Amino acid sequence: MSRFKSFAVVSRNSARAYKGRSLDVRQVGKELGVRYVLEGAIRSAGGQLRVNAQLVETESGMQIWANRFDGPTTSLFEVQDQITDGVVGAIQPSITHAEVERARLKRSSNLTAYDLYLQALPHILSRDGKRAINLLEEALRLDPDFAAAAMLAGQEHFVSYHHQVLGSSDLDLKLGRDLLQQVLPQCGNDSSLIPGCAGMLMVLREYDRALDLASRAVSENPNDSLALGAAGIVNLFGGDLSAANHYVLRALTLSPNEYHAHGYLTCVSHIRMAEGRYDEALQWAQRSLAVSPNYTPTYWMLAAGNAHLGRLEEARDYARELLRLNPDLTITRLRIGQHARDSRRVEVLFDGIRLAGIPEQ
């Protein structure tokens, strides 16, 4: 867990002092100065091993996450890997969700820069990029060196340009580039910053540099869904399609409820579109739509996929909904933000939404 830079983990020796002792988790939280405790128990019987684990919020004693892991004692290392994937993949999004809820309960006059950063996350999920950017800019006014806030604000500007959302302009590209230059020197080995930087470089068509950073993020923390998701998206537009598929499916397996899950689901849909597997592309897009009904790239997939399958009535329905969300959208405008090293990966979208009724200019 200490590989995640977004939260601190107390030393093993500090935690080991509580081994075998029955204590209230609130007391543990106060003594260690931690907000969350991961605890568990191991049992074995008849050649079988069972591990129960739970994440508890120390202030309230409320359980945030729990899971059970089973396996034969003869395959101890496999069970250990299973626990690692399950626990580490679930802990980061669980803590993020819990922290967002804590921030929501606070009065606005008590918000810190970090609280503002957390407040922005739900707006990213609901695709209210302007509100998210406003909160992040306020956080940066309080703490100009807050790299995570700068990275997220930069991402939102780049997403606005990349997706050509309503109201986006070249100014988003400039502001995003400025924030990227602020964050890049601070990346170091921080896998929480590197994925966002990789995605921004991809939008700037610096494919090789983006791929290098994405690969580095996965190497730093192979169980970080953000790193895996970024590697998947960067490979979709600038690298290997099979690698893109591997990374993004791994991200979804580890953290199916991650705040960026709708983007990962739509990424899989796009991969299937590029492979010509339109039925499967539609299935993944429908899953993304259930998570975030305002994410416009999902409608690209739904309109284009149905059009390629000859289901023009359904395709036009999704195209109308897409134009409701973004009345200024045209294929010419979409080409400004959507690009790939292999142009066929985006042309399949343009061809499909053209058939669905999206205007050329």
What domains lie within the chain, and their CATH numbers?
Answer: 12-88 (3.40.50.10070), 259-361 (1.25.40.10)
Q: Cβ(129)–Cβ(98) under 8 Å?
A: no
The whole-number pLDDT of residue 99 equals: 62
Query: Would you state the structure tokens that stand for residue 244, as one six-digit string?
Result: 């893109």
Cα separation, 103 vs 55, whole angstroms: 19
Cα separation, 337 vs 316, whole angstroms: 23
The whole-number pLDDT of residue 109 equals: 36
Q: Which residues pair with 40 in a beta bridge?
A: 53
Phi then psi dihedrals of residue 67, to 5 deg: -160, 165
Q: Which residues pair with 53 in a beta bridge?
A: 40, 67
The whole-number pLDDT of residue 115 equals: 87
pLDDT, tens digit, 9 for 90 and up, residues 5-49: 666 778 777 777 777 777 788 888 888 888 888 888 888 888 888
Q: Cβ(61)–Cβ(80) under 8 Å?
A: no
User: Which residue ranges of the chain lie beneath pLDDT 70?
Assistant: 1-7, 89-111, 189-191, 259
The whole-number pLDDT of residue 6 equals: 61
The whole-number pLDDT of residue 104 equals: 47
